Homo-oligomer: A and B are copies of this chain.
Amino acid sequence: MTYAVGLLLDAGIVFASDTRTNAGVDHVSTFKKMTVFEVPGERMIVLMGSGNLAITQSVVSQLHAWNAAQPKTRGGRAVRANRAILRAETMFEAARIVGAALREVHALDGEHLTAHGADFNAMFILGGQIGGEAPRLFQVYAAGNFIEAGVDTPYFQIGETKYGKPIIDRIVRPETSLSVAAKCTLISFDSTMRSNVSVAMPLDVMLYERDSLKAGFYRRIPRNDPYMQALSEGWSKGIRSAFEALPDPDWPVESGDSRRPRKRRKG
């Protein structure tokens, strides 16, 4: 599986993705799922993919190919709509281009996947900032359509989303700082990795600072990262303390932990 998160904040965007891929439980690998499209001073765009790795990698390769191709013109006018993320004028156009790449891959591979009983399973988070626009964040579906984050729900998750969602819902607001949002993101990953072995370290994290128009602080967080370990242990202890501080129910059953369990009777 995969877990990836994008958080759209007033201060910028937090991007994070894990690196585990698996085809069955006996074929587990590490792949980077975060791709950066950057022209410093002009645009900074991050794409994170989940789902079938063959599809998501093909989409990224297609996007690179479109970036590399010279725009076809006839008499000075473009022959077809721009398909280069590096030349997109808005993030909306960039999201359309990611959708177009998905549709290109679907046209090539879709029926063959169906013939082998496999779904066309892919999802992307696309975020960043171009020129004078504000930073924007999109979630692109396998069909190539997409939705955009707003102030009510300033984040998107893809892959194994459930275990890591509650902490984001409780903590992250548009005014949350990049640092605090990054801390929340790492705890969200910790909860996810604790419950789903198909999401795993190392993690890729990038903090994009609004209006910087360049790749922000990037870090690959390895398996034994001291800060991640401190967070994980501190969070376990904090959760347990918070739980113990809550009142037990005043229901008519014995209370307190029965540390000396009764022997099990044999049936």
Contact = CB atoms under 8 A, between A and B. Distances in A.
A175 B260 CA distance: 8
B253 A179 contact: yes
A257 B90 CA distance: 28
Contacts of A178: 253-254
B249 A238 contact: no
Contacts of A240: 170-171
**Count of this chain's copies in the oligomeric assembly:** 2
A177 B231 CA distance: 29
Contacts of A11: 254, 258, 261-262
A143 interface: no
A117 interface: no
Given A194-B166, A247-B230, A249-B227, A174 B261 contact: yes
Which of A184, A230, A242, A265 has its CB near the most chain B CB atoms (within 10 A)?
A242
B239 A179 contact: no
Contact of A217 (B171, B186, B235, B252): B252
